[in-house]
Amino acid sequence: DIVMTQSPLSLPVTPGEPASISCRSSQSLLRSDGYNYLDWYLQKPGQSPQLLIYLGSSRASGVPDRFSGSASGTDFTLKISRVEAEDVGIYYCMQALQTPITFGQGTRLEIK
Amino acid sequence: EVQLVESGGYLVQPGGSLRLSCAASGFTSSTHWMNWVRQAPGKGLEWVASIKLDGSKIYYVDSVKGRFTISRDHAENSVFLQMNSLRAEDTAVYFCPKSSRGAYDDWGQGTLVTVSS
């Protein structure tokens, strides 16, 4: 199974400041079509998860452009250029390359 | 607009059975996949099962193999999860997200399954 490891697990951020979450996979998520099968999700308090980033760096429909995803080998990063109050919640990375599909432990972003 | 509505969650005793339903609307492409993902109370997300909507491929996490069965009804545009031999560790909110190119792009509100005596 592919193990997904996120850091940090808790992330206090001042509004307007940038934030970064890392996710490392235990093996390459690069498929033969040239894409990394790595997604990012945000679960806001009391809500279902929502897709933010797919295929490593593509923003989902309706996601603000302050969110961006990048990849370097088996290291993936979600960046928020300027955190807003509505960004609080738990962020998960997920590998969709092979079953079992696996998620990271989650990173809780809170506002300072 | 895509809508996914899960139902069927309930309080059931260990060893019991439940059938979860997921009513989908707003899309019909057989190239999509439908999935079940669960979240135990206060815990993270765990993938449970996936089915390609043309029925050609089905996958399960090891912990539910032989106990859970995912299926779909094209006519009703619904997906189901038959859950047998339920255990306390199956207690969770169950979601049925739709996926395209591996990404779970639409989620329902979830349905709570509680396994307890």
Disruptive mutation site among B47, B58, B95 for chain A (greatest number of A CBs within 10 Å): B47
Chain B residue numbers with beta carbons less than 8 Å from the beta carbon of A35 are 101
Q: Which of residues 64-93 of B touch A (CB under 8 A)?
A: none
Residue A23: burial class (beta carbons within 10 Å; 0-12, 13-18, 19+): buried
pLDDT greater than 80 at residue B29: no
* A29-51: average pLDDT: 97
* A90-101: average pLDDT: 97
Whole-angstrom distance, CA of residue A62 vs CA of residue A67: 11
Instruction: Answer yes or no: are the C-beta atoms of A92 and A76 closer than 8 Å.
Output: no
Q: Which of residues 20-49 of A touch B (CB under 8 A)?
A: 35, 37, 39, 41, 43, 48-49
- Quick: pLDDT tens for B5-24: 999 999 999 999 999 999 99
pLDDT greater than 90 at residue A98: yes
Q: Worst-scoring range by mean pLDDT, A75-79, A107-111, B31-35, B37-41? A: B31-35
> What local confidence, expressed as pLDDT, does residue B56 receive?
87
Question: What band does B27 get if pLDDT is binned at 50, 70 and 90?
Answer: confident
Instruction: Answer yes or no: are the C-beta atoms of B29 and B91 closer than 8 Å.
Output: no
Instruction: Judge: B99–A50 Cβ closer than 8 Å, yes or no.
Output: no
> What local confidence, expressed as pLDDT, does residue B82 receive?
98
> What local confidence, expressed as pLDDT, does residue A92 receive?
98
Whole-angstrom distance, CA of residue A3 vs CA of residue A35: 19
Mean predicted lDDT score pLDDT of chain B: 94
Question: What band does B55 get if pLDDT is binned at 50, 70 and 90?
Answer: confident
- Cβ-based neighbour number of residue B94 at 10 Å: 23
What DSSP letter does each residue of B43-57 carry, written as one string? --EEEEEEEETTSS-
Q: With an 8 Å Cβ cutoff, is B10 touching chain A?
A: no
Instruction: Judge: B95–A49 Cβ closer than 8 Å, yes or no.
Output: yes
pLDDT greater than 90 at residue B31: no
Q: With an 8 Å Cβ cutoff, is A102 touching chain B?
A: yes
Question: What band does B54 get if pLDDT is binned at 50, 70 and 90?
Answer: confident
